[in-house]
Structure 1
Amino acid sequence: MLKNLLVSAALVGSALIAPAAVALPASAATLHAQAPAVSAGVHTACQYRQDGKVWRCITPGAFCPKAARGKYGYAKVTNRKYRCLYKSSDPYWRWRRA
């Protein structure tokens, strides 16, 4: 009985240990290396920033910083014009369609 318990514990312990290295086929490694380049498009390169009097890469409906209140901004995906506005029905400063 003790022998069976020790063997079971050894099997469970060996299953928890991660292998030191996993060899991938060359095609899988190439595909994995290319995946970030494909997904890295215009949308991920865009960063929220102030550019003179306008803001770039804003997210429509998101909260605006104090510095952007009343100013215009351009959406990161559609490049449409938005303005940081306050509405009494929604008492927050948000990027709203201009």
Structure 2
Amino acid sequence: MLRRLVVSAALTASVLVPTTASALVAAAAPAGATVSCTYQRSGNHWNCVTPGAYCPAAAHGRYGYAKATGRKYTCTRYPNGRWRWKRA
């Protein structure tokens, strides 16, 4: 009987924890950001880029939008030869 009570309490707690954690992540996100934002190519531009981060080879010379602010960035080659997302 006690074992059944402990197991059911553990299962109940495991169900509640992810719900609470996702609610905290959603509450902590900036106003313009979406929680489910993923770095992806969408036609001729990229979504959810991180400003200053390295660009993939497929993004060289293309533009993308920042995941937090939604501002436009371009994948630009810097003097050191590396490609990064720079504010357009």
| TM-score, length of structure 1 as denominator length | 0.62
Among residues 58, 65, 84, which one is paired with 1:94 in the alignment?
Answer: 84
Is 1:38–2:31 an aligned residue pair? Answer: no
Q: May I ask how many residue pairs the two structures share in their alignment?
A: 75
TM-fit CA distance, 1:91: 2.2
Q: Structure 2 CA distance, aligned partners of 1:65 and 1:57?
A: 13
Unaligned runs of 5+ in 2: 1-5
In structure 2, the partner of 1:58 is 49
Change (3 A) 1:50 1:29: closer
Deviations 1:11-67 (A, max 9, x none): xxxxxxxxx86x57x9x8897432323314544300111111000000111111111
% same residue = 47
| TM-score, length of structure 2 as denominator length | 0.68
Larger RCO: 1 or 2 (CA < 8 Å, sep 6+): 2
In structure 2, the partner of 1:84 is 75
Matches within 5 A, 1:17-32: 32=17
Q: CA RMSD in A?
A: 2.7
